[in-house]
Structure 1
Amino acid sequence: MSRSRRGRKKEAASSLRQVASTSLVGLLWLLHWLPLPALRALGAVLGRLLFAIGRERRRVALLNLRLCFPELEEAARRDLARRHFIAFARAFLDRTLLWWAPRTRLERLIRLEGREHLTAADGQPTILLAPHFVGLDAAGSMMTMQTPLVSVYANQKNPVFNDVLLAGRLRFNDPVLLSRQDGMRRALKCLREGLPFYYLPDMDYGARDAVFVPFFGVPAATITGVSRLARIAGARVVPCVARMTAAGYTIELQAPWESFPGDDVEADTRRMNEYIESQVRRMPEQYFWLHKRFKTRPPGEPRFY
């Protein structure tokens, strides 16, 4: 096949993907007009379907749950995984509301508790510690409706969805969104300028800038950014926990951590994982079990996935 012919076929395939992506975005836009109970019912159907056909992600979720909840029977872990797929799918469809619904509707659907913890009276920088619950996008939207802030995002491979996702996150108060490639220097600068930092530090980003500390008793590569940023910026850490409810979402801002950071970065990071674990136990079906949280292993340990 000639190079020009291969090029034309590649261009045609790219155009088809873009048309399909644009059509799907159009369908999602239509969904945002639905009442929440109808949207959640669709999410339940989608979640069960994904659990049935998503063999790889189902395997990851079940392995994570086996590592974190070894005391549960296999049937109970499978039921928990199924409920997680449903919660995940519902949260995905709820994004149509976050992207396109009027602010007045979002304020009815998303309830904020602990608003008084959002900013310090003396202007001390604030890190909003947001664990990976399915409602984290709802929490992000609520936080941007309250105040300008800074956060980090990951570019999506599909440019159509990447544009929609970015536009949705930029709807209110002109937040500063940094790519992971920007590193923490700009986040630190924004913190010092008074912008709260909406920070999601509980994923496996590899061994760089990470320490192995327990998560549900399993050594997990965990970035030390919360401790380091709090120390350098003189920031306080305010937990921001998102819970999906039948009526929408409840976002809970908890009291700032006391005596944090401490003298030891590893101890601080261990404390963070212990805290996140305590919140996961409150609503285990809503934590992001589809992520390979234990992918990076200590030297000499076999891989899990």
Structure 2
Amino acid sequence: MSAHRQARLLVIAASLLGRLPWSWLYRLGDAVAALWRWQDARESRVARRNLELAFPGLETGQRDALHRRILRTTARQALETLKLWTRPPAANLALLRERHGEDLYDAALAAGRGVIVAAPHFGNWELLNQWLASRGPIAIVYRPPESAVGDEFLQQVRGVDNVRQVRAEGPAVRQLWKVLKDGGAVGILPDQQPKAGDGEFAPFFGVQALTMTLLSRLAERTGAPVLLAWCERIDSGPGFALHVEPAPAAIADPDPQAAVDCLNREVERIARRDPAQYQWTYKRYTLRPPGSGEANPYVKR
């Protein structure tokens, strides 16, 4: 069976799951989180290790409570996203109970200089993608899964009007440069670890993390403004607040170290709004600074 057909079957399955009422979907997410914790699954182990690294001052009980909240939020977000992917975008955008900075994005886009949206893994970034697409065409940078079926699945569920998915590979820079030069919008998830040699180390929650320079290079060389954006959960049900803010000028500093320092400070600031809504199940610190003697913190010794 072709990757396209297999992905189509996954989309159908996601659609069936997405028909569950929100309350049922969230209960299922809570059950998944409990299973992760009981089995000490990868998600549970990685989140626990990240909390040890990023919040060393927390007492054991506090860290354990945050760990539980993170797993519950992560599982809910995964199921929530399947529902968002398989419903009309207009229905999803009705979940935005608050909208802050909407005019800021529209004005930046209308200025014709291009606009770069830095969207951390906070809240629900897939809902943010759909809001951005509702304002006009946008090129979204993504890291393709290793599986061809997984990649095809993303192409199908994210393939709403106005969204162009750009693989985070060699030709991406040229494609994004052209989009910005033509006055278009580019969306980047700035807190993914790049390949060795494609970034600079900078503090993130007090730990050195290899950080992409792609965003700052695009901003510095094109003059396109950078906006920070996220969709934050604001209640226990499916309610969100959209936030769009201007990034500090230092995020486009020609000195790459100054730029990534600024970028990580801003992502950390947003994540600290509600740490449970940040993606702590991602191995952010696997690569260590050259010559530091530090080992991959996720590998048991």
Into which bin does the TM-score normalised by the smaller protein fall? 0.7 to 0.9
Tell me the equivalent position of 1:194. Answer: 183
2:117 pairs with one of 98, 123, 128: 128
What are the equivalent positions in structure 2 for 1:92-107 lying under 5 Å apart?
92-107=78-93
Matched, 1:30 2:16: yes
Which SS does the other structure have where 2:243 is aligned?
A: strand
Runs of 4+ in 1 over 4 A off after TM superposition: 17-25
Tell me the equivalent position of 2:265. Answer: 274
Does the 8 A contact of 2:231 with 2:241 survive in 1?
yes
Which SS does the other structure have where 1:118 is aligned?
A: helix
- Structure 2 CA distance, aligned partners of 1:257 and 1:91? 29
Does the 8 A contact of 2:15 with 2:82 survive in 1?
yes
1:179 pairs with one of 167, 171, 177: 167
Task: Map Cα deviations across residues 34-83 of structure 1 (whole Å, 9 max, x no partner).
Answer: 23222222222222222322433322211111111011012322221221
Deviation, structure 1 residue 20: 8.8
1:116 pairs with one of 96, 103, 109: 103
**TM-score normalized by the length of structure 2:** 0.87
Letter in 1 for 2:100: E
Deviation, structure 1 residue 158: 3.8
2:255 pairs with one of 264, 288, 298: 264
Which SS does the other structure have where 1:285 is aligned?
A: helix
Tell me the equivalent position of 1:247. Answer: 238
Letter in 1 for 2:63: R
Deviation, structure 1 residue 252: 0.8
Task: Map Cα deviations across residues 167-219 of structure 1 (whole Å, 9 max, x no partner).
Answer: 2211122x221112233111111111122111112121232221111111111
Matched, 1:51 2:40: no
- Structure 1 CA distance, aligned partners of 2:188 and 2:13? 31
Task: Map Cα deviations across residues 240-292 of structure 1 (whole Å, 9 max, x no partner).
Answer: 12212333322211134346523422112101111111111111011111111
| Count of matched residue positions in the alignment of Structure 1 and Structure 2 | 289
Letter in 2 for 1:49: L
- Structure 2 CA distance, aligned partners of 1:138 and 1:217? 29
Q: Which runs of 5+ in 2 are unaligned?
A: none
- Structure 2 CA distance, aligned partners of 1:148 and 1:41? 35
Tell me the equivalent position of 2:27. Answer: 41
Letter in 2 for 1:171: V
TM-aligned CA distance change 1:256 to 1:72, over 3 Å: closer
The answer to which of 75-84 and 20-29 deviates more is: 20-29
Tell me the equivalent position of 1:5. Answer: none
Deviation, structure 1 residue 134: 4.4
Matched, 1:302 2:294: yes
Tell me the equivalent position of 1:217. Answer: 206
TM-aligned CA distance change 1:123 to 1:66, over 3 Å: same
- Structure 2 CA distance, aligned partners of 1:299 and 1:255? 33
Does the 8 A contact of 1:138 with 1:249 survive in 2?
no
Letter in 2 for 1:105: A
Which SS does the other structure have where 2:57 is aligned?
A: coil
Does the 8 A contact of 2:210 with 2:287 survive in 1?
yes
Q: Which has the larger radius of gyration?
A: 1
TM-aligned CA distance change 1:290 to 1:203, over 3 Å: same
Letter in 1 for 2:197: R
